[in-house]
Protein backbone atom coordinates (compact mmCIF):
# COMPACT_ATOMS: atom_id res chain seq x y z
CA UNK A 1 0.00 0.00 0.00
CA UNK A 2 2.69 2.50 0.99
CA UNK A 3 4.69 1.75 -2.16
CA UNK A 4 1.62 2.37 -4.35
CA UNK A 5 0.93 5.63 -2.54
CA UNK A 6 4.57 6.66 -2.79
CA UNK A 7 4.82 6.48 -6.55
CA UNK A 8 1.45 8.22 -6.88
CA UNK A 9 2.76 11.00 -4.63
CA UNK A 10 5.94 11.32 -6.66
CA UNK A 11 3.92 11.46 -9.87
CA UNK A 12 1.64 14.12 -8.40
CA UNK A 13 4.67 16.09 -7.21
CA UNK A 14 6.17 15.87 -10.68
CA UNK A 15 3.00 17.28 -12.22
CA UNK A 16 2.70 19.97 -9.56
CA UNK A 17 6.32 20.99 -10.08
CA UNK A 18 5.83 21.23 -13.84
CA UNK A 19 2.82 23.53 -13.42
CA UNK A 20 4.64 25.63 -10.80
CA UNK A 21 7.78 25.88 -12.95
CA UNK A 22 5.72 26.99 -15.94
CA UNK A 23 4.04 29.63 -13.79
CA UNK A 24 7.45 30.78 -12.52
CA UNK A 25 8.82 30.95 -16.06
CA UNK A 26 5.92 33.08 -17.27
CA UNK A 27 5.38 35.27 -14.20
CA UNK A 28 8.45 35.32 -11.93
CA UNK A 29 11.33 35.09 -14.40
CA UNK A 30 10.58 38.41 -16.14
CA UNK A 31 11.07 40.10 -12.77
CA UNK A 32 14.39 38.26 -12.35
CA UNK A 33 15.50 39.55 -15.76
CA UNK A 34 14.53 43.07 -14.72
CA UNK A 35 16.51 42.70 -11.47
CA UNK A 36 19.56 41.46 -13.35
CA UNK A 37 19.27 44.40 -15.73
CA UNK A 38 19.17 46.74 -12.72
CA UNK A 39 22.29 45.05 -11.34
CA UNK A 40 24.08 45.35 -14.67
CA UNK A 41 23.31 49.06 -14.90
CA UNK A 42 24.86 49.58 -11.48
CA UNK A 43 27.87 47.37 -12.37
CA UNK A 44 27.74 45.54 -9.03
CA UNK A 45 29.67 42.57 -10.35
CA UNK A 46 31.54 44.00 -13.29
CA UNK A 47 33.93 41.61 -14.97
CA UNK A 48 32.47 38.34 -13.69
CA UNK A 49 32.11 35.53 -16.21
CA UNK A 50 28.66 33.99 -16.55
CA UNK A 51 29.24 30.23 -16.19
CA UNK A 52 25.67 29.30 -17.18
CA UNK A 53 23.70 31.41 -19.60
CA UNK A 54 20.59 33.15 -18.40
CA UNK A 55 18.50 31.34 -21.03
CA UNK A 56 19.62 27.98 -19.64
CA UNK A 57 19.05 29.06 -16.04
CA UNK A 58 15.43 30.04 -16.56
CA UNK A 59 14.44 27.07 -18.73
CA UNK A 60 16.42 23.86 -18.31
CA UNK A 61 17.79 24.83 -14.90
CA UNK A 62 14.41 25.96 -13.57
CA UNK A 63 12.54 22.86 -14.72
CA UNK A 64 15.25 20.44 -13.57
CA UNK A 65 15.38 21.91 -10.08
CA UNK A 66 11.61 22.14 -9.74
CA UNK A 67 10.96 18.62 -11.00
CA UNK A 68 13.48 17.10 -8.59
CA UNK A 69 12.08 19.24 -5.77
CA UNK A 70 8.50 18.32 -6.62
CA UNK A 71 9.16 14.59 -6.92
CA UNK A 72 10.78 14.49 -3.48
CA UNK A 73 8.07 16.54 -1.77
CA UNK A 74 5.31 14.61 -3.53
CA UNK A 75 6.71 11.37 -2.15
CA UNK A 76 6.96 12.94 1.30
CA UNK A 77 3.34 14.09 1.10
CA UNK A 78 2.29 10.54 0.24
CA UNK A 79 4.13 9.16 3.27
CA UNK A 80 2.56 11.74 5.61
CA UNK A 81 -0.94 11.09 4.20
CA UNK A 82 -0.45 7.35 4.69
CA UNK A 83 0.67 7.94 8.28
CA UNK A 84 -2.19 10.32 9.14
CA UNK A 85 -5.01 8.52 7.34
CA UNK A 86 -7.43 7.07 9.86
CA UNK A 87 -5.75 8.88 12.77
CA UNK A 88 -7.33 12.33 12.37
CA UNK A 89 -10.95 11.32 12.12
CA UNK A 90 -12.98 10.16 9.15
CA UNK A 91 -11.36 12.56 6.68
CA UNK A 92 -11.46 11.45 3.02
CA UNK A 93 -8.04 10.99 1.39
CA UNK A 94 -8.49 13.90 -1.00
CA UNK A 95 -9.52 16.29 1.79
CA UNK A 96 -6.67 15.01 3.97
CA UNK A 97 -4.10 15.62 1.23
CA UNK A 98 -5.40 19.17 0.68
CA UNK A 99 -5.42 19.85 4.43
CA UNK A 100 -1.83 18.67 4.82
CA UNK A 101 -0.80 20.71 1.78
CA UNK A 102 -2.40 23.81 3.33
CA UNK A 103 -0.44 23.20 6.54
CA UNK A 104 2.73 22.73 4.49
CA UNK A 105 2.10 26.07 2.77
CA UNK A 106 1.90 27.80 6.15
CA UNK A 107 4.81 25.98 7.80
CA UNK A 108 7.23 25.60 4.88
CA UNK A 109 6.39 28.60 2.69
CA UNK A 110 4.58 31.47 4.40
CA UNK A 111 6.21 31.44 7.85
CA UNK A 112 9.82 31.41 6.54
CA UNK A 113 8.89 34.03 3.93
CA UNK A 114 7.68 36.42 6.61
CA UNK A 115 11.15 36.43 8.15
CA UNK A 116 13.21 36.07 4.97
CA UNK A 117 11.11 37.10 1.94
CA UNK A 118 12.30 35.77 -1.41
CA UNK A 119 14.43 38.22 -3.37
CA UNK A 120 15.68 38.13 -6.97
CA UNK A 121 19.09 36.45 -7.43
CA UNK A 122 20.63 39.79 -8.42
CA UNK A 123 19.80 41.30 -5.01
CA UNK A 124 22.11 40.69 -2.03
CA UNK A 125 25.81 40.60 -1.32
CA UNK A 126 27.87 37.60 -2.43
CA UNK A 127 29.82 37.79 0.83
CA UNK A 128 26.70 36.94 2.86
CA UNK A 129 25.33 34.05 0.78
CA UNK A 130 26.26 31.45 3.40
CA UNK A 131 24.83 33.54 6.23
CA UNK A 132 21.56 34.12 4.40
CA UNK A 133 21.26 30.46 3.37
CA UNK A 134 21.99 29.19 6.87
CA UNK A 135 19.55 31.64 8.45
CA UNK A 136 16.78 30.66 6.04
CA UNK A 137 17.33 26.94 6.67
CA UNK A 138 17.32 27.59 10.41
CA UNK A 139 14.01 29.43 10.08
CA UNK A 140 12.59 26.60 7.99
CA UNK A 141 13.68 23.98 10.54
CA UNK A 142 12.36 26.12 13.41
CA UNK A 143 8.98 26.46 11.73
CA UNK A 144 8.78 22.70 11.17
CA UNK A 145 9.75 21.90 14.77
CA UNK A 146 7.24 24.48 16.05
CA UNK A 147 4.51 22.81 13.97
CA UNK A 148 5.42 19.39 15.37
CA UNK A 149 5.37 20.85 18.88
CA UNK A 150 1.95 22.40 18.31
CA UNK A 151 0.58 19.12 16.97
CA UNK A 152 2.00 17.29 19.99
CA UNK A 153 0.34 19.73 22.39
CA UNK A 154 -3.00 19.35 20.58
CA UNK A 155 -2.69 15.57 20.84
CA UNK A 156 -1.82 15.63 24.55
CA UNK A 157 -4.83 17.83 25.34
CA UNK A 158 -7.22 15.31 23.80
CA UNK A 159 -8.97 14.06 26.98
CA UNK A 160 -9.58 17.53 28.43
CA UNK A 161 -10.65 19.79 25.54
CA UNK A 162 -12.89 19.72 22.49
CA UNK A 163 -11.19 19.11 19.11
CA UNK A 164 -11.51 22.79 18.16
CA UNK A 165 -9.98 23.95 21.44
CA UNK A 166 -7.14 21.44 21.06
CA UNK A 167 -6.18 22.69 17.63
CA UNK A 168 -6.52 26.30 18.72
CA UNK A 169 -4.09 25.55 21.55
CA UNK A 170 -1.74 23.81 19.13
CA UNK A 171 -1.95 26.75 16.75
CA UNK A 172 -1.11 29.16 19.56
CA UNK A 173 1.94 27.08 20.49
CA UNK A 174 3.07 27.11 16.86
CA UNK A 175 2.64 30.87 16.41
CA UNK A 176 4.40 31.65 19.70
CA UNK A 177 7.28 29.26 18.96
CA UNK A 178 7.86 30.38 15.38
CA UNK A 179 7.73 34.04 16.47
CA UNK A 180 10.44 33.34 19.03
CA UNK A 181 12.59 31.57 16.44
CA UNK A 182 12.21 34.50 14.03
CA UNK A 183 13.20 36.96 16.75
CA UNK A 184 16.37 35.02 17.58
CA UNK A 185 17.61 34.73 13.98
CA UNK A 186 19.64 37.54 12.40
CA UNK A 187 18.03 40.24 10.30
CA UNK A 188 18.98 40.35 6.62
CA UNK A 189 18.28 43.55 4.69
CA UNK A 190 20.53 43.93 1.66
CA UNK A 191 18.12 45.34 -0.92
CA UNK A 192 19.63 48.51 -2.45
CA UNK A 193 17.80 51.65 -1.45
CA UNK A 194 17.20 52.59 -5.09
CA UNK A 195 15.92 49.15 -6.11
CA UNK A 196 12.35 49.48 -7.51
CA UNK A 197 9.91 48.59 -4.72
CA UNK A 198 7.22 47.48 -7.16
CA UNK A 199 9.62 45.06 -8.88
CA UNK A 200 10.65 43.54 -5.55
CA UNK A 201 7.03 43.16 -4.45
CA UNK A 202 5.93 41.59 -7.74
CA UNK A 203 8.79 39.10 -7.64
CA UNK A 204 8.03 38.08 -4.06
CA UNK A 205 4.34 37.59 -4.78
CA UNK A 206 5.14 35.51 -7.87
CA UNK A 207 7.73 33.37 -6.02
CA UNK A 208 5.35 32.59 -3.16
CA UNK A 209 2.45 32.01 -5.55
CA UNK A 210 4.53 29.42 -7.45
CA UNK A 211 5.03 27.49 -4.20
CA UNK A 212 1.33 27.64 -3.36
CA UNK A 213 0.40 26.46 -6.85
CA UNK A 214 2.81 23.53 -6.50
CA UNK A 215 1.23 22.36 -3.24
CA UNK A 216 -2.33 22.84 -4.50
CA UNK A 217 -1.81 20.91 -7.74
CA UNK A 218 0.23 18.18 -6.04
CA UNK A 219 -2.27 17.64 -3.23
CA UNK A 220 -5.31 17.72 -5.52
CA UNK A 221 -3.82 15.24 -7.99
CA UNK A 222 -2.47 12.94 -5.27
CA UNK A 223 -5.81 13.00 -3.45
CA UNK A 224 -7.57 11.84 -6.58
CA UNK A 225 -4.98 9.13 -7.25
CA UNK A 226 -5.01 7.91 -3.64
CA UNK A 227 -8.80 7.89 -3.27
CA UNK A 228 -9.31 4.43 -4.86
CA UNK A 229 -6.64 2.92 -2.59
CA UNK A 230 -7.64 4.51 0.70
CA UNK A 231 -11.42 4.79 0.31
CA UNK A 232 -12.00 1.04 0.98
CA UNK A 233 -10.15 1.43 4.30
CA UNK A 234 -12.54 4.21 5.28
CA UNK A 235 -15.50 2.00 4.41
CA UNK A 236 -14.17 -0.89 6.50
**Residue ranges of the domains in the chain?**
2-124+192-235, 125-190
Output the pLDDT for position 232.
Answer: 56
Per-residue confidence band for 224, with pLDDT thresholds at 50, 70 and 90: very high
Query: What span, in angstroms and rounded, lies between the C-alpha atoms of 111 and 104?
Result: 10
118: left (phi over 0), alpha (psi -120 to 50) or beta: beta
Per-residue confidence band for 231, with pLDDT thresholds at 50, 70 and 90: low
Query: What span, in angstroms and rounded, lies between the C-alpha atoms of 43 and 37?
Result: 10
Residues ≥6 apart with Cβ < 8 Å to 101: 77, 215, 216, 218, 219
Lowest mean pLDDT among 29-33, 40-44, 75-79, 223-227: 40-44
Output the pLDDT for position 191.
Answer: 82
Lowest mean pLDDT among 80-89, 98-107, 211-220: 80-89
Amino acid sequence: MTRLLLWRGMLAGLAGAFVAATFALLVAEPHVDAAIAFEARHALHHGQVELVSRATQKTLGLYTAMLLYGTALGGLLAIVVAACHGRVGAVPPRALALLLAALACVVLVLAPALKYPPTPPAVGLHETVRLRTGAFLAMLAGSLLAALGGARVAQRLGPTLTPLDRWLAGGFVYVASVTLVAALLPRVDEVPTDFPASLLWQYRVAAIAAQLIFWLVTAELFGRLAQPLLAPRVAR
